[in-house]
């Protein structure tokens, strides 16, 4: 019965690809297969990898993984913009679901973390956007791995300005001191920090620094894309 209603909804309210706008086929979710074919994968299934090298000298990260290369003007940028700015949170969910399935098949150590912690938005920005895109990415991972999500322990205390046009050193200063632990519930746990895009690693490094203050905590990182 559920499938019948789903088919009827698709018939009268067809979904379109968040990247190209073309009508999605019944087996496609959020992004059409043609657009997905243009997404360029990283080689982060290796250890160490280029994403992990971004954090050398900044914060001790056990493992890091970004699924795609983020190229301006390309399909992946349009997908990320749909996720962040155009009210399409399920885009993050579906891409993370694909990544989680592949990482599980590869027996990645990321699948064995204790808890998923999305990089928090400031409450004002979350109200404005209507959701935290990193939380939707975490939900996509959790749907495959069954790992709990913690959105309460790590909080953002300042609504800092956008980092889009900042230089690397400016990004570092822009995110310094804006996160804190609201609850000491992560001691001794392996935490997977989650964000949409990694540029310089400044935001995730500052989050990791806070988490690593808890005794015995270990931190790994997952992102949909890396610049």
Provide the CATH number for the domain around residue 130: 3.40.50
Confidence (pLDDT) at 178: 87
The pair of three-digit structure tokens given for residue 27, joined into one six-digit string: 């087996």
Assess if residue 127 is contained within a domain.
Answer: yes
Give the residue among 17, 39, 149, 7 at the shortest CA–CA distance from 90.
17
- 29-56: pLDDT as tens digits: 999 999 999 999 999 988 889 999 999 9
Query: Looking at the domain assignment, is residue 8 inside a domain?
Result: no
Q: What is the pTM of this model?
A: 0.89
DSSP H or E run through 99: helix 89-105
Task: Give the domain range for residue 128.
Answer: 40-226
pLDDT in tens, 203-218: 999 999 999 999 999 9
Q: How many C-beta neighbours within 10 Å does residue 87 have?
A: 13
pLDDT at 196 over 50: yes
Mean pLDDT across the stretch 66-72?
96
Q: Is residue 63 part of a domain?
A: yes
Model pLDDT, residue 9: 41
- The pLDDT assigned to 212 comes to 96
Is 4 inside any structural domain?
no
If pLDDT is split at 50, 70 and 90, which confidence band does 88 have?
very high
pLDDT at 10: 45
């Amino acid at each position: 019965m559920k499938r019948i209603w789903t088919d009827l909804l698709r018939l009268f309210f067809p979904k379109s690809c968040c990247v190209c706008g073309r009508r999605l086929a019944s087996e496609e979710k959020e992004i059409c297969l043609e657009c997905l074919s243009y997404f360029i994968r990283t080689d982060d299934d290796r250890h160490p990898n280029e994403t992990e090298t971004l954090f050398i000298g900044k914060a001790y990260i056990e493992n890091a993984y970004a699924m795609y290369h983020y190229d301006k003007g390309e399909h992946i940028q349009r997908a990320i913009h749909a996720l962040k700015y155009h009210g399409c949170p399920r885009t993050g969910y579906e891409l993370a679901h694909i990544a989680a399935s592949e990482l599980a098949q590869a027996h990645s150590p990321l699948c064995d973390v204790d808890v998923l912690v999305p990089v928090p938005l400031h409450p004002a920005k979350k109200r404005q956007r209507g959701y935290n895109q990193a939380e939707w990415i975490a939900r996509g991972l959790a749907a495959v791995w069954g790992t709990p999500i913690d959105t309460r322990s790590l909080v953002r205390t300042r609504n800092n300005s956008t980092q889009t046009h900042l230089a690397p050193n400016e990004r570092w200063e822009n995110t310094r001191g804006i996160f804190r632990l609201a609850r000491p519930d992560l001691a001794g746990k392996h935490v997977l920090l989650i964000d949409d895009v990694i540029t310089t690693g400044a935001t995730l490094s500052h989050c990791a620094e806070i988490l690593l203050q808890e005794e015995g905590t270990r931190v790994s990182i997952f992102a949909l894309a890396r610049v």
